[in-house]
Amino acid sequence: MPNFIHPIDPADLLAQSPNEIDHISTALGLPRHAFDSYCRPLLRTYAEYVQKMPLMAQHFYDMGGAWNMGIHAALTASRVASQKIFFPNVGAEERRQLEPQCRYAAFVASLASGVAILNEHTLVREGDDFYHPLTFGGSLHTWLQAHPRAEVSWRSPREQLTQAEKAAIAAIFIPRGLLGAFDLRIPKMIYGAINPILAMNGIESTLENVVRLSIEAVLKHFEKYDQRTYRGVDQPLDESTILVNQVLSTSASTVTSAPQNAQVATGSPTQHPGTPTQATPQPSSNVSLEFLLSKANPALRDWFTAFKTSSLYEKNIAQVKVTEEAIEFPSVLLGAFGLSGPQVRKHLEAAQMIFGKSLDGRALKMHLSLRPLLFKEQEE
């Protein structure tokens, strides 16, 4: 590692990642003026706090590593968040307001995580004076301007921050007033999801799940495809679709995240790792709900919850037909609860929850064992 690091104008770092920044804008679905007001200031601040620093000894370990990890984690998290339902238990209009804010929260929490990770693994000092956002209270860029002979080294051992310390760093890093127009639940979500660690009980919020798995996917991608040789901005990671699919797959196969505004249902079937998955269940009421849920993406579980808690539930459920063979669910309703219709169908097929169409082709045939997820009278 080079012994000295010098301040770099944040605009120069932003200029190195134009494609990734454009992709983040697309993933968040924000109008240009909104992106310029809410995202560019945070990207600039991230550049001020990470500069050209390496991230850690094992991953992104050359100059510029922290910037590149953060920008790719933010992109991955933004795209994954667009396929999640964060507030399944609120009305459709309230959810319409909250869900875009949640996608933005994934972007913010990912960048704030990059700042936290950097300060866990690296030490910047000049003589007896060293930089840390919790003591300096400002950006690394500002500190470096006053310390032209700063040296960089790895922390050994790593300084593992508590969740409260990570939140405190995020509060310093996030520009003051940036979240002023947001629902209060959104900042609370963000500060609780800074480089999150999975709890022993395996329960985490949807935002924590998105941020944690997105960061893990980016780090694993670096190790696998770059073979521990950092290639810098001249050969950027081309991992967008790969990483999003990895995160969604891991999320589905490991832990179910709790909705932001609800507790995990105590009556939900338990997922058993040993449940066989290679055989496709035949259309029959004998296919257990536990078997089907064992392969369900968390976004799909949230979708079922959103269906049952919708303000239009009575109108929607009246369109669902139950026969001796199957539950016939209208295809037109698939995209009405936070995810697009094609996304929902893809998740249903992956979990083997559907096995055909109705005779008129307007409805999907679902297994009868899914009744508790759709009909309120089936709840215990």
- Tens digit of each residue's pLDDT (9 = 90 or more) over 229-281: 444 444 445 455 556 666 665 555 444 455 554 433 333 333 333 323 333 33
Give the integer Cα–Cα distance in Å for 247 and 273: 18
With tokens 């990671």, the residue in question is: 237
- Tens digit of each residue's pLDDT (9 = 90 or more) over 78-111: 999 988 889 988 888 898 899 999 999 999 999 9
Name, in order, each residue with C-beta under 8 angstroms of 180's C-beta and a sequence gap of 6 or more: none
Length of the chain (residues): 380
For the domain made up of 10-254, the CATH class stated in words is: mainly alpha
Residue 252, token pair as written in the block? 């589905």
Name, in order, each residue with C-beta under 8 angstroms of 319's C-beta and a sequence gap of 6 or more: 330, 333
pTM of the model: 0.67
Give the integer Cα–Cα distance in Å for 344 and 340: 6
- Tens digit of each residue's pLDDT (9 = 90 or more) over 122-157: 999 999 999 999 999 999 999 999 999 999 999 989
- For 355, the enclosing helix (H) or strand (E) is strand 354-357
State the pLDDT at residue 26.
92
C-alpha neighbours within 13 Å on the C-beta side of residue 191: 15
pLDDT at 282 over 70: no
Residue spans of the domains in the chain: they are 10-254, 289-378
Which range is least confidently modeled, 1-5, 53-57, 206-210, 285-289? 1-5
- Cα-based angle 96, 100, 102 (whole degrees, multiple of 5): 110
Name, in order, each residue with C-beta under 8 angstroms of 311's C-beta and a sequence gap of 6 or more: 91, 92
Report how far apart, in Å, the C-alpha atoms of 323 and of each of 56, 223, 307, 353 are. Answer: 58, 51, 20, 16
Give the integer Cα–Cα distance in Å for 218 and 250: 13
